[in-house]
Amino acid sequence: MNPFRGLSRRSFLRGLAGTAISLPLLEAGLGRQAIAQSTPGILSADGFPKRFIYFFHPNGTQQNVFWPTAGASSKDFQLSQILSPLEGFKNKLIIPKGIELKSGAGAAGPGEPHQRGMGTVLTGHPLQTGDFVGGDGSLAGWGAGISLDQVLAQHIGENTSLGSLQLGIRADTTAPTAEVRTRLSYLGAAQPLPPQNDPKNVFDQIFSDFMTEPAELVELRERRKSVLDGVIDQFAVLNRRAGYADRQRLESHLALVRDLEQRLENDRVTGAACYAPADPGVQEPDSEDSMPDIARLQIDLLVMAFACDITRVGGLQFSNAKNHIRFPWLESLGDGHQLSHAGPSDSASFNQWVARDTWFAEQFAYLLTALDSVPEGSGSMLDNTVVLWINELSQGNTHSQVDMPFVMAGSGGGYFDTGQFLELDNVAHSDLLVSIQNAFGIESPTFGDPQFCTGPLSGITR
């Protein structure tokens, strides 16, 4: 069943009077061409927005049933048991084996592997020092730099209503207070962004204005603008009285307020693939029984936010590095973290872990299917997106971060040469992050801490 209910063009445009949707989805190519010239790399060759999604699940994988079987060339491979749900997208994947999380190594900074993995996998920086207690008693702080998704949000999402969306599926379960093992996305050093775990809240944030009458939306927009003007006035008063350190903090907050003000002023237009999704209603996001439904709702909302150009950057975080959850719909009732620690002779735990990882692959396939169902030019939204499936470990029972189980999907508007299984020689994961930022027109040869970069990966671009 299609999760989105269609609207007549007239009704839909009436509802969009106050919704922030930006220029590149105009049918005419003039707006796209102007943006492409001013910010190279943010649009595909046929003028559609490029987008980025990270997709996370924790605690590593079972290496012997995760990696594909290689053939005579990188384009000749067979998907593994865990990755078998992705068979229909084999020609749109890049599966790189031989990537190490070098910025998460013990010698690189404080913390234990789960802490280091979460804080560095998208930032490329070792952790800060701090007092978060890891599973083995190690102490660590937050991630020490901006994450890839936020770098891209600043580059390709400057004019969208939301810079990015961080969505969670039981991402805060067993984590009553935020800490480094529960966060992936960072605005900067020690500035983590929390995932939103309730689809109802996500819907209300994104789509609540869609069916509001135009006059009400104009009034709402003016009220929002008035609030921002008031905040700016208060900043001006406080800034005259503040010391240097406080002025720095105020300027940082003021930059965020000005960004909101800018987004309120943007033109609001949409493309034909944008529909108002059905209100998901009241959910139980922390319930183990509702996890499959929550996952699909979050994916549907993210894809529609892309289709409506509300944002171009998103994340889907399943659980967190603590991962003390069960999967009753798979009859997998063990504690997730303990299952990942089981040795090779524990066949019952092995089978449960493989079933769970295969389920994650099914959710990844559902996301790719949703993206691929939106036509854009001669291809689809998936073709103009880079989707990166990540983990904080490579294998749970050894806490290894060698041969990280990463999977990429989508060509980023034709930038990447997809349909490959690459066997690399222990390269740094930061080099993969460099390659992705390059796909969006950010030409820097490093990402994160430069000592863990050697440049973009070879063999993955067209």
* 175 close to 320: Cβ distance less than 8 angstroms: yes
Give the β-pairing of 385-390 and 51-56. Answer: parallel
Whether residue 246 is contained in a domain is answered as no
Mean pLDDT throughout 76-87? 98
Mean pLDDT throughout 374-382? 94
Whether residue 406 is contained in a domain is answered as yes
Least confident of 126-135, 193-202, 263-272: 263-272
Using DSSP's 3-state secondary structure scheme, residue 406 falls into coil
Rounded distance between C-alpha atoms, residue 105 and residue 102, angstroms: 5
Least confident of 132-146, 223-237, 313-327: 223-237
pLDDT at 16 > cutoff 80: no
Where in the sequence is the domain holding 16, given as residue range(s)?
4-211+268-452
Mean pLDDT throughout 307-323? 95
pTM above 0.85, yes or no: no
Q: What pLDDT is stored for residue 19 in this prediction?
A: 33
**Digit-coded pLDDT (tens) for 346-371:** 999 999 999 999 999 999 999 999 99
Q: How confident is the model at residue 158 (pLDDT cuts 50, 70, 90)?
A: confident
Tokens of 130: 């701090």
Element (H, E) at 37: helix 30-38
**Digit-coded pLDDT (tens) for 225-234:** 565 566 566 6
Whether residue 235 is contained in a domain is answered as no
* 339 close to 349: Cβ distance less than 8 angstroms: yes
Give the dihedral of Cα atoms 357, 112, 315, 211; nearest 10 deg.
Answer: 110
- Smallest Cα–Cα separation from 312: which of 88, 90, 56, 35? 35
Whether residue 105 is contained in a domain is answered as yes
Whether residue 96 is contained in a domain is answered as yes
Rounded distance between C-alpha atoms, residue 392 and residue 400, angstroms: 10
**Digit-coded pLDDT (tens) for 88-100:** 999 999 999 999 9
Whether residue 87 is contained in a domain is answered as yes
Tokens of 132: 């978060």
Tokens of 446: 């490093």
What CATH number is attached to the domain comprising 110? 3.40.720.10
Whether residue 380 is contained in a domain is answered as yes
* 50 close to 439: Cβ distance less than 8 angstroms: yes
Considering its fold, how many domains does the chain have in total? Answer: 1
Report which DSSP code applies to 286. T
Q: Looking at 39-130, list the stretches that DSSP marks H as alpha helix, in order from N- to C-terminal side.
A: 113-120
User: Could you identify the residue written with the tokens 């691929």?
Assistant: 372
Q: What pLDDT is stored for residue 269 in this prediction?
A: 36
Checking phi first, is residue 137 left (phi over 0); if not, alpha (psi -120 to 50) or beta? left
Whether residue 250 is contained in a domain is answered as no
Q: What pLDDT is stored for residue 223 in this prediction?
A: 57
Tokens of 11: 């009704």
Q: 120 forms bridges with which residues in the sheet?
A: none
pLDDT at 319 > cutoff 60: yes
Q: What pLDDT is stored for residue 352 in this prediction?
A: 97
Which residues lie below 8 Å from residue 98, measured CB to CB, with a gap of 6+?
403, 422, 423, 424, 425, 426, 427
